[in-house]
Amino acid sequence: MVYRFWCGECGFKTPWLAESEGAQRQLDHYKKQHPGILAGGHVETARRNSQGRRRIGGLACLKVALLLALVLIIAAAYRR
């Protein structure tokens, strides 16, 4: 999962990052732009990896494996 942290004081938001890196960037933003104010805002989550591509689920992998097995069986049958 990836996270995007939003500042509670202004429009700043982090890019989609791992949770620890996003939290650190939000803290760095507060130290620089809003000194003396405790970090606030909200966190947005996405069920994607950090490159933004969706992960292939187990069922999709099973379908691909079955399709490949079927193609191999057909190819073996026509080879005789």
Q: What is the pLDDT of residues 9-61, one digit of tens each?
A: 999 999 999 999 999 999 999 999 999 999 889 999 987 654 555 555 667 78
For the chain, the maximum distance between any two Cα atoms, rounded to a whole number of angstroms, is 79
Residue 26 near residue 35, CB atoms below 8 Å: no
Q: How many domains does the chain have?
A: 1
What CA–CA distance (Å, rounded) separates 31 from 11?
A: 15
What are 58's two structure tokens? 């187990």
**Structural domain span for residue 42:** 2-79
Question: Which pTM does this prediction carry?
Answer: 0.57
